[in-house]
Amino acid sequence: MPPAKKFGLQYFCKTIQILSKEGLNSRLNMKTTEGDQKPVIGTAEPVEGERPTLKTIAFMAGLGVTTVSRALKDAPEIGQATKNRVQLIAKQIGYRPNRAGVRLRTGKTNVISLVLNAQSEIMGLTSNMVYGISEVLSETPYHLTVTPYSVKNDPMQPIRYIVETGSADGIIMSRTEPNDPRVRYLTEHGIPFATHGRTEMGIEHPFHDFDNEAFAYLSVKSLLARGRRRIAMLAGPSPSVTYYRHLHRGFSRAVEEGGASTVAVSDIDVDTSLGRIRNRMEEIMSASNRPDGIVCCSGSAAIALVAGIEAAGLKIGGDVDLVSKQSTDVLQWFRPQIIVFNEDVRHAGRELARAVLRRIAGVDARELQSLSYPDEHDLRS
C-alpha cells in the first residue's frame, strides 16, 4: 500500500475509513492499482495521466465533491482545517477547474473579447492594445479572445454574436461613435464592456480615451510657436468616429486663439492607404494656398505625409512643420525629425482590461472612465 506521502497519516486514515464503506470505490469510479482493490491515494504527485477534477480531490481527501468545490473558493461554511487540507491537495496535484464545466453550470466564460476593426490598422495600435490587455488578464483566470470584423461589415455583427452565444463575460472595443449602437445594445443587455474612446449619448459606460482634443490643441500651439500660420490636419477616420470631433475641437480652438488660418485636407484620412495619402499630400502641398503647418494623428500616415511633402519639393522644418501622434517610438528616429506626441496604447489596453474586470465585479461605470494625456517628445527643441 503506498504511503500517504505528503499529506500525513491522518488523511490516509480518513481515506481508508471512507473506503471501508462498501461500494464507494466503484461509485467514485477511481482508478485502482492493478490487481488489488487498493486505490492510489495519498500520493501527492499527479499520478494519473488524466486531469484531476473535483472528484479526484474529494477522493483523496475523503470528502464530498460539494465540500471540495466550496473549500476551494473559501466558502464560509467550510472549516478552516478542511479548507487548508483541500487547498493543499489541489495545489500539489495541480488541480485546475475545468472551464467548460464552470461555464456550462454558471454561464461564466472567463473570457474577455477584444473586438477589432481589421482594416484600419494604426501603426502599433492593435499589438500594443493586445499586449496591454494580456498583461492585466494574465494575473486573472480570464482569457483574451480576439474578434475582428471588416470595416465593410456591420460593426454590430460581432457584438451580437458574442451576446447571443454568451461567448464572453466582457467586451473591449474601439472606434466609438458619438451615438454608438454597440454601446446602446450592450448596455440594454447588461453586458459589461469598456470602450477605447468616448460616446455622446448620455449613457455612462467604462472607457479609456486619449485626449485627442488636447493633442490637437497642443499640436497646433507648437506649430504656432514656430511661426506657422496656415494649419492643416490629417484627421481621424470618418466624422462618425468620436475622436474625429475631439481632434477638430482642439484644432479649431488653438487656431482661433492663435489667429491663424486653416487649410482643409479633403479626400484623405488616417484610414486611407499610405499611397493615396502621399499623392494627395503632394497635390495639396503644390497648391498655392498650401499649409505651412500640419497635424497628423497617425504615425504611419505621417511618414506618407512627409513623402508627399518632399515630392512637392518642400522641406520639413523649413517650408512646413509637421506634428504627429505616435503609438510606438518609431517616429522618434524618423528623419526629417518631426514633432511627436506619444499615445501609450499599451497603457490604454491595461486600463481597458482593468475597467471591464471591475465592471464585471459590479463597480459603477462612472468610476471606470479615464483619460490619458499627450506626452510630448520634441526632439528638435
Partner DNA sequence: TCCCAAATCTGAAACGTTACAGGTAGGCTA
Partner DNA sequence: TAGCCTACCTGTAACGTTTCAGATTTGGGA
Smallest CA-to-CA distance from 66 within 74, 54, 51, 83 is with: 54
CB of 29 vs DNA, minimal distance in Å: 6
Closer by beta carbon to its own copies, 15 or else 326: 326
- Please give the C-alpha separations between residue 78 and each of 67, 72, 73, 180, in angstroms, as whole numbers: 7, 10, 10, 47
Residue 29 interacts, among DNA, its own copies, none and using kind-specific CB cut-offs from 5 to 8 Å, with DNA
Q: What angle do CA 217, 218, 223 make, to 5 degrees?
A: 100
Question: Counting contacts by CB under 7 A, is residue 89 touching DNA?
Answer: no
Residue 148 phi/psi, 5° resolution? -90, 160
CA dihedral 29, 31, 36, 41 (to 10 degrees): -100
The reply on whether position 62 binds DNA by CB under 7 A is yes
CB count within 10 Å of CB 100 equals 8
Pick out residues in 90-119 that bind DNA (CB under 7 A).
95, 97-98, 100-102, 104-106
Please, which residue, 63 or 265, has the CB nearer to DNA?
63
Residues 79 and 170: their CA atoms lie apart, in Å, by 34
By CB under 7 A, what part of segment 2-21 binds DNA? Answer: none
Element (H, E) at 56: helix 54-61
| 3 state DSSP class of 19 | helix
Nearer to its own copies, 167 or 252 (CB): 167
Q: Is 67 in the site for DNA (CB under 7 A)?
A: yes
Of the candidate residues 211, 283, 310, 344, the single one contacting its own copies (CB under 8 A) = 310
Query: One-letter amino acid identity for 143?
Result: H
Comparing CB distances to DNA, the nearer of 11 and 193 is: 11
* Nearest of 180, 155, 7, 160 to residue 86 by alpha carbon: 7
99 near its own copies, judged by CB under 8 A: yes
Residues contacting residue 287 through CB under 8 Å, at least 6 positions apart: none
Per CB under 8 A, which of residues 222..281 are in contact with its own copies? 274-275, 278
Name the nearest CA neighbour of 236 among 149, 347, 122. 122
Q: Is 79 in the site for DNA (CB under 7 A)?
A: yes
Residues 6+ apart with CB under 8 A from 330: 123, 124, 299
CA dist., res. 259 & res. 268, Å (int): 26
Distance (Å, rounded) from C-alpha 241 to C-alpha 177? Answer: 4
User: Of its own copies, DNA, none, which one does residue 166 interact with (CB within 5 to 8 Å by kind)?
Assistant: its own copies
Q: Should residue 87 be labelled a site residue for DNA when binding is judged by CB under 7 A?
A: no
Residue 252 lies near DNA (rule: CB under 7 A): no
Q: Which does 366 bind (CB under 5 to 8 A by kind): DNA, its own copies, none?
A: none
Q: Which of the stretches 12-20, 178-186, 225-233, 298-306 binds its own copies when contact is defined by CB under 8 A?
A: 298-306
Residues that bind DNA (CB under 7 A): 29, 50-51, 53-55, 62-67, 69-73, 77-82, 95, 97-98, 100-102, 104-106
Residues that bind its own copies (CB under 8 A): 51, 94, 96, 98-101, 103-104, 109, 111, 116, 118, 121, 123-128, 130-131, 134-135, 138, 143-148, 164-167, 274-275, 278, 300, 303-304, 306-307, 310, 328-330, 332-336
